[in-house]
Structure 1
Amino acid sequence: MTDISTGLIHHPYLPPQGFEAPQPAVHKASTVFFPNVAALHSRDWKHKTGYTYGLHGTPTTFLLEERLATLEGGRHCLLVPSGLAAIATVSLSLLKSGDEVLLPDNAYGPNKALVQGELRAYGISHRLYDAMDTADLAAKLSDRTALVWLEAPGSVTMEFPDLPALVRLCRARGVRCALDNTWGAGLAFNPFELDADGLAVDVSVHALTKYPSGGGDVLMGSIVSRDPALHMRLNMTHMRLGLGVGANDAEALLRSLPSLPLRYAAHDAAARGLARWLAGRDEIAGVLHPALPGAPGHAHWKALCGTRDRAAGLFSVVFDARHTRERVHAFCDALRLFRIGYSWGGPISLVVPYDIGEMRDPAVTRWPHAGMLVRFSIGLEAAQDLRVDLEQALATLALAV
Structure 2
Amino acid sequence: LVDRTAAREALGQAQSMIAVMREQATFLTQYDKLMAMKDDDVEELLDQARRDDQTHVARHGEVSQEIIDTDVQINAMRSQIADRAEKARQARSQSRLAKGQAGMDLLEQALKYEAEIGQLSAKVSIAQDRVRQLVGQRRILGVQINAARRTITAAAAILDHRKIQKGKRSEERQRCMALIAESARSVTTLTAAIVASCEKAKAEEKLAIAAYQAADAQLGESRVSVEMRSAEAMADKADLSMRAASLRSERYSLHGRLTMLKEWIEELWPKVFPDKPIPEEAKKLTEYVPSPETLKTLALQGYTTAISNYDGAAQALGRGEQKYRWFYQGQQAAACLGHWQLQPDPNQLKRAEDILNAALKNKEASPYLRPVVRLRDMLKTGKSPVPEEPATAPADTNS
TM-score, normalised to structure 2, is 0.25
Larger Rg belongs to: 2
Q: Flag the structure with higher helix content.
A: 2
